[in-house]
Amino acid sequence: MKKKSLAAIMAMVLCTAILAGCGDGGKDGITVGISQFAVHGSLDNCREGFLAGLAEEGFVEGENLTVEYVNAQADTGTSAMTADNFVSKKVDMICAIATPTAMTAYNSTMNTEIPVIYTAVSDPVEAGLANADGTPVGNITGTSDALAVEAQLQMIREILPDAKKIGIIYTTSEANSISTVASYEEASPKYGFEIVTTGVTAMSEVPLAAADMATKVDCITNLTDNTVVSALQSVLEEANKANIPVFGSEVEQVRAGCVASMGLEYYELGRQTGKMAAMVLRGDAKASEMKFEVISEPSLYVNYAAAEKIGLELPAHYAEDAYQSFDEILVH
C-alpha cells in the first residue's frame, strides 16, 4: 500500500478538526437563543433584564456570549419555527419570553439536551411547563409573572368605591390568560365585583371587543396577555371615550396610559431569570432540577395624567406610596 504524504495526513487532521467544530455548531463561547413572543415594553424589559443578569454573573454579550434574538410578532407559528431553528443550530440554551414561546421551545427541545429558561410565564403549571409543586416537567425552568390579583382588586376598590363590574379582554389561546381570568373570577366576590370577560383570537379583534366592553363595565383591568397588550392603545382609546379607567398589570402599561397597577417590575423579573440561566450555563445546576421562581411582592404604579384625562381623582396617599408615578402619557 502506498504511504500517505505528510501533507495528506495534515489535511485529514484539519478536516477532522473542522468537522468536530461543526458538531457543536462551530461556536466560540456560549450561544443563547432568545425567543420573544411579541413587541411590547414588559417583554422588552424582561429581555434587557435577562441579559443584565447574565452579565452580572460573567456572561457578557460580545465577549464570551453570543445572543441570537428573534421576535415572533405575536405569531405562534413563527415562535415554533424559531425554536426549531435554535435547536438545529445547537444553541447552548433557549430563553423563551412569554408563555407561547416557552411552550414551543419546550416542545422543540424535548428530545435534546438544550435547556430552556423561560420568563414572563404567568402560570407554568397550567401551561404544562411545571408540576403542581413547582418542579420542572423536563429540562426547563424559569420565572413566573403571576399577577397579584387580590392586591389589584383591593386597589381598584379603593380608587372606585362604587364600581360593580370589571371588564377583562383576553386571548382564548393563551393558557396564562385563562388561568388569570379564573383567579379574578374566584377572588372578585370578596371585593364586591363582577367580572365581565370577552375572549379574542387575534389582535385585530381587540378594538371591537374594547368598544363593546366599555359600554358594559365600570372599568377595565388589563392582564399581561400578549395579544391584548400589543393592542393596548385601542383599549385605552375606547375606555377614554366611555370615560372609564383602564388598570394595568405592570409599569409599562401604566406608562402607556393605564391609570394604575399593583404590578410587576419586568426588568427585575428578567434579571432574576438571567441569574438562573447563569447557574445552568456554569454547570452549577440543571434546569430539570430547578423549581420556577416568582417575584414576591407587587409594586404600585400610577399615572396622574391618565387619571386626569377622565376626571378621576386618585387617593392622596398614592403620592407617597407609589413605587413609580407618571405625569404624562408615553403614547397618545
Q: Give 180-198 pLDDT, tens digit per residue.
A: 999 999 999 999 999 999 9
Residue given cell 409543586 in the structure block: 133
Q: Which helix (H) or strand (E) segment is 116 a member of?
A: strand 116-119
DSSP code, position 126: T
* 286: region left, alpha or beta (phi > 0 left; psi from -120 to 50 alpha): beta
* Residue range 106-135: mean pLDDT, rounded: 96
C-alpha distance from residue 235 to each of 164, 220, 242, 258, 292 (Å) = 20, 9, 11, 10, 32
User: How far apart (Å, rounded) are the C-alpha atoms in residues 158 and 292?
Assistant: 32
| For the chain, percent of residues with pLDDT exceeding 70 | 91
> What pLDDT is recorded for position 63?
96
Q: Is the pLDDT of residue 135 over 50?
A: yes
How is residue 119 written as a grid cell?
420568563
Q: Name residues whose C-beta falls within 8 Å of residue 287's C-beta, 6 or more positions apart in sequence.
A: 115, 116, 117, 136, 139, 140, 141, 280
Q: Is the pLDDT of residue 79 over 50?
A: yes
The pLDDT tens digits of the residues spanning 232-269 come to 999 999 999 999 999 999 898 999 999 999 988 899 99
DSSP readout, 268-328?
HHHHHHHHHHHHHHHTSS-GGG---EE-S--EEEEEHHHHHHTTPPPPTTHHHH-SEEESS
The pLDDT tens digits of the residues spanning 296-331 come to 678 999 999 999 999 999 999 999 999 999 999 986
Q: What share of the chain is helix, strand, coil (3-state, %, to 5)?
A: 45, 20, 35
The pLDDT tens digits of the residues spanning 3-49 come to 444 444 333 333 333 333 333 433 458 999 999 999 888 899 999 99
With CA atoms as reference, report the closest residue to 75 among 226, 270, 176.
226
With CA atoms as reference, report the closest residue to 233 among 143, 144, 331.
331
Q: Is the pLDDT of residue 1 over 80?
A: no
Domains and CATH numbers, the chain: 29-145+267-294 (3.40.50.2300), 149-263+298-326 (3.40.50.2300)
